[in-house]
Amino acid sequence: MLEKMEILDVDKVIEEFEAMTKDAENVQRQTLKKILEENGCAEYLQNVGLNGRTDPESFKACVPLVNHSDLEPYIQKIVDGPPSPILTGTPLTTISLSSGTTQGKPKFVPFNDELMETTLQIYRTSYAFRNREYPIKNGKALQFIYSSKQSITKGGLIAGTATTNVFRNCQFKNAMKSMQSQCCSPDEVIFGPDFHQSLYCHLLCGLLFREEIQLVSSTFAHSIVHAFRTFEEVWEELCADIREGALSDRITFPSVREAMARLLKPNPQLADLIHAKCSALSNWYGLIPELFPNVKYIYGIMTGSMEPYLKKLRHYAGDVPLVTADYGSSEGWVGANINPNLPPETATYAVLPHIGYFEFIPLNGDVEEPELVGLTEVKVGEEYEIIVTNVAGLYRYRLGDVVKVMGFHNKTPELKFVCRRNLMLTINIDKNTEKDLQLAVEEAAKLIAGEKLEVIDFSSHVDVSTDPGHYVIFWEINGEVSDEVLQECCNSLDRAFVDAGYLSSRKVNSIGPLELRVVWRGTFQKILDHYLGLGAALSQFKTPRCVGPTNNKVLQILCGNVAKSYFSTAF
């Protein structure tokens, strides 16, 4: 019997979103009230002396701004048990491990059913708008999603990465079905114990269901690029598996083998077809639509630290649109992409006023302690650090992200993600953000952008062991480049940091010549493996763009794999 499928009523979702955003200020008040009422008995809220008040003014007067380290004692108590209302009225039973790729080590953040519900609300909202632009029919999605193991903490809580907690939640699958975006791979592949093996099987499943694939997605765009780079290496093996109907020996886990055996039958025609298509491509341009003729769009977070992968993704995508996914974090969601036709470079995220209470610290201007403003009070063109209060026990939590208000949808702001606030190259008066680094790398990489050459990945470090200190930029390149060209790249990088503090410091040599270190092929894969070893999920992986002195292991990997190094002669 055919399973009855509830298809999401996208018009209704849009209607509700419109109503909510028209009344954003009131919805924010109500959301805060609800959060404070439901969690009023939590130890944390009891300690700040709210005494049952739920209005924004009392909330701001009593509750301090915090970052993760301020909450660590509370979170540790939750993790160690016994269950009690510490951050939330109803004791938490699940905890998320954030990816930790920005700070160097994973951190615990609260997760609960209410947070899961906000995740689904974000998914539904952006899907509704996306589907209006790019309708998908009843088909399948090639989703590069991976779920790391969940473990049990001393206090009996389930702990896993946020994406793992979402993918393993029983509501996730139903939600994907209702959005006609069901993953083409069996659960055994998604939940497989080894991501290399899962990735191979995802690719294989995608090929087996190639006609049905409507979209290709992952949480962060990096995973999609990573997947197709892997495809370039294993495509002949994949074709052989399809031809013979027998799975490669590289897949060793019995549960994964059994699940794949149910799908795999000898199919020489399909193997020939894929082989012919791949052989005819020039440098893999347009690979995705060749493999998946009915794909409507490619979907995943493509802004912020994912922007450096866009060029490669476009190369694989050919003329298939790239649509950036929503904006949020392990700590909670913020906004949905409701303008899916915008390219990722200009994409914005409309804040959902009912999924949390949002405040903003203005960053423009010279005021020492600027006054925080509410969701509906932000100004177009201004940059802010975003503060979140949510349904999972975070109150006035500094997410650490900088956003820019690009406009309003009704009364709710549309935000552009700018950068992480604390990711900064700085030695003295210079200040360069992740975005500045990205722009510098883009500029310098033009010098090698000839035939097939590209910067696969990059990172940076401030080296103060020299006097004066200097910036070090690490590049992994996919081929041989002459010393002369790399020296030029190094000079170009140095010149590309146009921050006044950097320029003036370089001119008087209070910052030393920038150093470009080219690392061996596979170095960034080692960094990825290192984070996976720490329990991070590939789905949430973000290459650390600036490696601080405390991130010893990653620094060791980078410094231990340097093939060549150059010092700038630009100044």
Question: Shortest gap between Cβ of 399 and ligand AMP (angstroms)?
Answer: 5
Counting residues that bind ligand AMP (by CB under 6 A) gives: 15
Q: Hey, is 349 helix, strand or coil?
A: strand
Q: For residue 388, how far is the Cα from the chain centroid?
A: 18
Question: Shortest gap between Cβ of 487 and ligand AMP (angstroms)?
Answer: 33
Alpha carbon distance 456, 555 (integer Å): 18
Nearer to ligand AMP, 201 or 336 (CB): 336
* Interface with ligand AMP in residues 148-187 (CB under 6 A): 162
Question: Shortest gap between Cβ of 360 and ligand AMP (angstroms)?
Answer: 15
* Interface with ligand AMP in residues 124-143 (CB under 6 A): none
Nearer to ligand AMP, 278 or 302 (CB): 302
Alpha carbon distance 14, 20 (integer Å): 10
* Whether the Cβ atoms of residue 510 and residue 493 lie closer than 8 Å to each other: no
Q: Which stretch binds ligand AMP (CB under 6 A): 114-122, 129-137, 326-334, 358-366?
A: 326-334
HSE-CB of 401 using CA atoms within 13 angstroms: 24
Give Dmax over CA atoms of the chain in angstroms: 77
Nearer to ligand AMP, 290 or 401 (CB): 401
Nearer to ligand AMP, 264 or 388 (CB): 388
Residue 518's nearest CA partner among 459, 433, 437, 452 is 459
* Interface with ligand AMP in residues 205-234 (CB under 6 A): none
Binding mask 386-415 for ligand AMP (x = CB under 6 A): -------------x-x--------------
* Whether the Cβ atoms of residue 372 and residue 361 lie closer than 8 Å to each other: yes
Question: Shortest gap between Cβ of 269 and ligand AMP (angstroms)?
Answer: 40
Alpha carbon distance 118, 334 (integer Å): 9
- Is 39 a residue that touches ligand AMP (CB under 6 A)? no
- Is 112 a residue that touches ligand AMP (CB under 6 A)? no
* Whether the Cβ atoms of residue 546 and residue 558 lie closer than 8 Å to each other: no
- Is 486 a residue that touches ligand AMP (CB under 6 A)? no
Give 472: exposed, middle or buried? Use CB within 10 Å, 0-12, 13-18, 19+. Answer: buried
> Which residue's beta carbon is nearest to the bound ligand AMP?
304
Q: Hey, is 397 helix, strand or coil?
A: strand
The residue behind tokens 């231990």 is 560
Alpha carbon distance 541, 305 (integer Å): 10
- Is 420 a residue that touches ligand AMP (CB under 6 A)? yes
Nearer to ligand AMP, 198 or 539 (CB): 539
Binding mask 279-308 for ligand AMP (x = CB under 6 A): ----------------------x-xx----
HSE-CB of 362 using CA atoms within 13 angstroms: 17
Nearer to ligand AMP, 200 or 397 (CB): 397
Nearer to ligand AMP, 56 or 328 (CB): 328
Helical (H) or strand (E) element with 390: none
Question: Shortest gap between Cβ of 221 and ligand AMP (angstroms)?
Answer: 10
Nearer to ligand AMP, 139 or 344 (CB): 344
Binding mask 80-109 for ligand AMP (x = CB under 6 A): ------------------xx----------
Nearer to ligand AMP, 423 or 486 (CB): 423
| Residues 433, 414, 107, 66, CA torsion sign | positive
Alpha carbon distance 293, 234 (integer Å): 20
Residue 531's nearest CA partner among 521, 522, 541 is 541
Alpha carbon distance 243, 257 (integer Å): 17
Nearer to ligand AMP, 131 or 540 (CB): 540
Q: Read off the DSSP letter of residue 3.
A: P
- Residue 113's alpha-carbon distances to 95, 232, 393, 532, 559, in angstroms, are 11, 40, 12, 26, 43
Nearer to ligand AMP, 103 or 491 (CB): 103
Residue 35's nearest CA partner among 109, 96, 112 is 112
Residue 387's nearest CA partner among 26, 24, 67, 21 is 67
- Tokens describing residue 495: 């010149």
- Is 328 a residue that touches ligand AMP (CB under 6 A)? yes
Binding mask 524-563 for ligand AMP (x = CB under 6 A): ----------------x-----------------------
Which residues of the shown chain bind ligand AMP in the complex (CB under 6 A)? 98-99, 162, 301, 303-304, 327-330, 399, 401, 417, 420, 540
